[in-house]
Amino acid sequence: DDEKRAAFGGEEMTARDLVRQFSLQSYSGGHRIFIFGDADFASHEAANALLKFFEEPPTSVVLLVTTATPGRLLLTIRSRLCEVHFSALSRQQIEQILLAEGVSPKEAREAARVGQGSVSRAHAALAADEETLRDQVVAWFFEVVRGGSPEAIWASRDTLEEALETIKTLVRDWSALMLAGKGTPMLATDLATLIARLPALAPADALRALTRLTDAQKLARTNVTPGIVVEMVRMHLSGLGVRSGGKTPRRHTAAP
């Protein structure tokens, strides 16, 4: 059972636990609805153990699976689900949610900026007493584009997809600023000043970097180890911030 664990909404359960829940009948005779929030499988064995129920769920059971990283779900699982995509929340929407939860206006505003469309990331920013994943990835990114080879202490199977999305956001903002100039809308608004200090990025380099990051995201969804994926990204980004001879910021740790 230890090899067949799955996490749903932060609660870890064995495949046997879930099968038992699926097998129960509703006392009222209606449908039983299971919502698997932030679904994650500890192993392929855990996913395969539940595959039968995803293929042919009991007629009285409705399964809803939510995840911010669908690429981490096995293709055999995804192919048996009807996918519905939701766009990221706006900064204003996240801020309003946080305000309704009693967060102060200042903290809500800052957390919404860092959240980049995710309430979970905004909550993490509010709760962070130590350096967050995003902080570590941002620091790594700025050192890499400066030509350094920092250790990717943040890289793991659990963090890789979110980390790659953060890196892609930074490259996207850097490219947009280079093409459209000051005043262009940015996703990582809290890092706008640091990104603006980077030298101009050649259009060909920007396109190549974004393409390679997309390739890395696809590779991260396979069995390739996180270290190999991160090293590939590092090689493609290395020195981008110094090729034009401009200065780049020293190592930076983003404020939550």
| Mean pLDDT in residue range 10-35 | 69
* Domain CATH code at residue 53: 3.40.50.300
Give 142: exposed, middle or buried? Use CB within 10 Å, 0-12, 13-18, 19+: buried
Give the pTM.
0.58
Domain co-membership, 178 together with 119? no
Q: What gap in Å lies between CA 142 and CA 108, rounded to an integer?
A: 26
In this structure, what DSSP letter does residue 82 have?
Answer: -
> What is residue 255's predicted lDDT score, i.e. its pLDDT?
40
> What is residue 235's predicted lDDT score, i.e. its pLDDT?
92
Element (H, E) at 215: helix 203-220
Domain co-membership, 155 together with 255? yes
Given a cut of 70, whether residue 6 has pLDDT beyond it is no
How far is C-alpha 175 from the chain's CA centre? 20
Domain co-membership, 144 together with 240? yes
Query: pLDDT tens across 171-182, in order?
Result: 999 998 888 777
Query: pLDDT tens across 45-103, in order?
Result: 667 777 777 787 777 788 888 877 777 777 888 888 888 888 888 889 999 999 999 98
Residue that terminates a domain, selected from 15, 47, 78: 78
Buried residues in 14-44 as b, exposed as e (16+ CB within 10 A): bbeebeeebeeeeeeeeebeeebeebbbbee
Domain co-membership, 224 together with 238? yes
Q: Is 7:42 a contact under the CB 8 Å cutoff?
A: yes
Given a cut of 60, whether residue 194 has pLDDT beyond it is yes
Domain co-membership, 94 together with 183? no
Q: Count the domains in the chain.
A: 3
Does residue 250 belong to any structural domain of this protein? yes
Domain co-membership, 149 together with 193? yes
Mean pLDDT, the chain, rounded, equals 79
| Mean pLDDT in residue range 23-30 | 70
Does residue 50 belong to any structural domain of this protein? yes
Does residue 83 belong to any structural domain of this protein? no
Q: How confident is the model at residue 11 (pLDDT cuts 50, 70, 90)?
A: very low
Given a cut of 80, whether residue 40 has pLDDT beyond it is no
Structural domain containing residue 223: 132-256
In sign, the C-alpha dihedral spanning 236, 239, 243, 247 is: positive
Does residue 247 belong to any structural domain of this protein? yes
Domain co-membership, 121 together with 145? no
Domain co-membership, 155 together with 234? yes
